[in-house]
Structure formats: C-alpha cells, structure tokens
C-alpha cells in the first residue's frame, strides 16, 4: 500500500434545541450571570432532552459531515466516537451511530480521552488513511454532559453543555490537509481533579447514587492551572514539530473550557486574541464535541480561508492533551 496524505473532507455539528441561560441558572443555584460571564465567558448552553442520547446527537452531526464530504454512509470504513458520556458502558456509542447512519461497511468503536478525545480520534483516523488501508473514516465528538451534572453544585453546573461535532477524514485530496499532530497524557495527578466516577469497576453500582458518583466533580483551581500551562505548550509543540512558527498560524481552534484559559494562552503565545477562535459564550464546555462544533461555527462565520494554517488543541481530564496542525 502506498503512503498518502489525509484530509478533513467534511464537517458537521448538532446542538440540541433546548437552551439554558445564565439567568435560568440563577434560579437553580446560588450564582449570577455576571459571575459566570466574568469567570468563564459562558452566557448559555444547549441541553439535551431526557429522550436524547449521545448517539442521537452524534448521528445528526455525522450525517451532516458525510453530506459535507459528498460521500455516502456506505463509503465510511471506520467510525470513532470520542465521548465521556456514552449511551452505555456496553455496547459502544459508535456502533449505535453505525446503525443510525447506515454505515454497514464500517467498523466502530469509542475513545475515552475526555476533552482531548476528538484530537485523539482524528489522529487515529489519520493513521488508517496515510498508510493506505482506508479511504474514509468518520470521527465524532459527542456529549450529553448535562445528564451527569449535579444541578445543585455551582462549581460545575455553570460550565458544561451538550452537543456533537463530526469530521470525515479521507484520502480524496479535498478539504483540509492534516499536516501532523502531538498527543500526550499524564495519569499522575489525582483523578479527583476532574472525574465522572460513574459505574466503573472502582465503584459498586449500588452505591453510585448515594455517593453521588453519577455526577462530574472537579477541582477547578487545579484544572485551571493545568489548562493555562498545557494549552500554549501543545500549540507551540505541534507548530515547532512541523517546522513552523507562531507567525505562520492563521487560526487556533482550542477546546472551549473557559474564556480566561484561551485569553491566557493568547497572551503567553504573544498572539492577538482574534487568532484564537472562541464560541464558549453560546456553547459552554462540550468536552469532546467542543473542537468540531467550533470548527463548524468558525466556518459559518467565514473565519476559515483556503490554505489557512490552523491549530486544533484539546486538553482535559486524565490528564490528556492533543494538538493537530491542518491546512484548510
């Protein structure tokens, strides 16, 4: 098999129609719109209905990405769903998406890498394309975090939202060329820094509700410190790795965790803030879905121009991180 290049040939996103504003949250917890906007940049978030599963959001984003790539579902050879809020522990959310979109020729599996999951997924897809074994791989980031938020906990409830974004990675020479990537992880810090313990092997299923293990818990200060360091670092690393400089970069599409984290990165990198895409005001933190949703939003706002050099950068629980360099 010959070595080839890989391209993001189509993207799509889906946000549930229900919207929860900061004003709505003021009625639910001891918080204010002013506090949330000042500390995070978030004004509102999309929330899935009781009936909407992560795979439902993922399916809608996937169909749009496949249409955008101008291929049929049957041409997809692999489906990778990055999520921390899967439909179930078993089977995978990806197999549900495979059924829903009719991708009968695709293998399917989930990736658990928190907010870095979409970049991890793109990097895996990239391998199957560049080594010539596949022509089209679908990568999805999808989350229904609202189902795992303790709505009485103001430390976490103001931060998260639901949504899905998808990308088709192809070898068809159409779309954004993947230049390269950088991935990393550090499992040493306490899991408690950012955790959704749930019904994993560590916790007895019968104690989950009583011990509130069904909710996201977070040490905001530690995660903030980690994030403000890792974001500029992974952007610089991937740029240097492929022989470029900060001046070569037209746009950074970072994971949307907190506006202040993105602003701190811009300052550290000496980049104008306009070069870092921000949509956290209306999307909040959608974890693995945040980067592909931001890609679609940025395109809609005409912020992506042909040949632009773009950095995608994700970081999150684990701890995990990943950055990718693409040429639009």
Ligand X SMILES: CC(C)(COP(=O)(O)OP(=O)(O)OC[C@H]1O[C@@H](n2cnc3c(N)ncnc32)[C@H](O)[C@@H]1OP(=O)(O)O)[C@@H](O)C(=O)NCCC(=O)NCCS
Binding residues (CB under 6 A) for ligand X: these are: 31, 35, 39-40, 115, 154-155, 158, 218, 220-221, 223-224, 227, 257-258, 285, 316
Instruction: Report the residue number, 167 or 218, with the smaller CB distance to ligand X.
Output: 218
Q: Which is nearer to ligand X, 13 or 157 (CB)?
A: 157
10 Å CB burial of residue 247 (0-12, 13-18, 19+) is exposed
Which element (helix H / strand E) includes 155?
A: helix 154-157
Least Cβ distance, residue 287 to ligand X (angstroms): 7
Count of alpha carbons within 13 angstroms of residue 321, beta-carbon side: 23
- Whether cis (ω within 30° of 0) applies to the bond prior to 167 is no
Nearer to ligand X, 195 or 208 (CB): 195
The reply to whether omega before 301 is within 30° of 0 (cis) is no
**Smallest distance from ligand X to CB 232, Å:** 15
| Cβ proximity of 314 and 291 under 8 Å | yes
Least distance in Å: CB of 26 to ligand X?
9
- Taking a C-beta distance cutoff of 8 angstroms, is the pair 121, 141 a contact? yes
- Could you write out the three-class secondary structure of 9-25? EEEEEECCCEEEEHHHH
Task: Count other Cβ atoms within 10 Å, centred on residue 309.
Answer: 17
Question: Which residue number, 47 or 138, has a Cβ lying nearer to ligand X?
Answer: 47
Q: Are 103 and 74 in contact (CB under 8 A)?
A: yes
Give CA–CA dist 14/33, Å, rounded. Answer: 25
Of the CA atoms within 13 Å of residue 252, those in its CB half-sphere come to: 31
| Residue of minimal Cβ distance to ligand X | 220
Choose between 178 and 228: whose C-beta lies nearer to ligand X. Answer: 228
We find the least distance from the C-beta atom of residue 116 to ligand X, in angstroms, to be 9
Contact 18, 77 (CB under 8 A): no
- Out of 22, 46, 115, 258, the active site residue is 115
Active-site choice (46, 182, 255, 279):
255
Q: Is 255 considered catalytic here? A: yes
Distance CA 86, CA 95 (A): 11
Tokens of 287: 């974890």
Shortest Å, Cβ 34 to ligand X: 9
Nearest approach in angstroms of CB 159 to ligand X is 6
- Comparing CB distances to ligand X, the nearer of 221 and 306 is 221
Which positions are catalytic? 115, 255, 285
């Amino acid at each position: 098999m010959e070595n080839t290049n890989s391209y993001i040939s189509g993207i799509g996103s889906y946000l549930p129609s229900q919207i929860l504003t900061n004003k709505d949250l003021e009625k639910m917890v001891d918080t204010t719109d002013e506090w949330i906007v000042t500390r995070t940049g978030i004004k509102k978030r999309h929330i899935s209905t009781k009936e909407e599963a992560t795979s439902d959001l993922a399916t809608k984003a996937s169909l749009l990405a496949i249409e955008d790539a101008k291929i049929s579902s049957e041409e997809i050879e692999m489906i990778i769903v990055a999520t921390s809020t899967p439909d179930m522990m078993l089977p995978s959310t990806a197999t549900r998406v495979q059924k829903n979109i009719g991708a009968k020729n695709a293998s399917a599996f989930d990736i658990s890498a928190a907010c870095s999951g979409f970049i991890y997924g793109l990097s895996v897809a990239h391998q199957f394309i560049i080594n010539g074994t596949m022509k089209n791989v679908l990568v999805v980031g999808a989350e229904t975090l609202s189902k795992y938020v303790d709505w009485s906990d103001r430390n976490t409830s103001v931060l998260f939202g639901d949504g899905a974004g998808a990308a088709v990675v192809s070898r068809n020479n159409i779309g954004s060329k993947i230049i390269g990537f950088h991935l990393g992880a550090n499992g040493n810090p306490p899991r408690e820094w950012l955790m959704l313990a749930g019904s994993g092997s560590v916790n007895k299923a019968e104690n989950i509700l009583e011990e509130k293990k069904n909710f996201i818990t977070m040490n905001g200060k530690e995660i903030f410190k980690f994030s403000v360091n890792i974001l500029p670092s992974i952007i610089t690393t991937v740029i240097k790795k492929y022989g470029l400089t900060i001046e070569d970069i037209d746009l950074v599409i970072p994971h949307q965790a907190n506006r202040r984290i993105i602003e701190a990165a811009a300052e550290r990198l000496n980049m104008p803030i306009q070069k870092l895409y921000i949509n956290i005001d209306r999307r909040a933190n959608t974890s693995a879905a945040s980067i592909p949703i931001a890609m679609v939003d940025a395109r809609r706002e005409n912020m992506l121009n042909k040949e632009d050099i773009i950095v995608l950068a994700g970081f999150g629980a684990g701890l995990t991180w990943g950055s990718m360099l693409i040429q639009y």
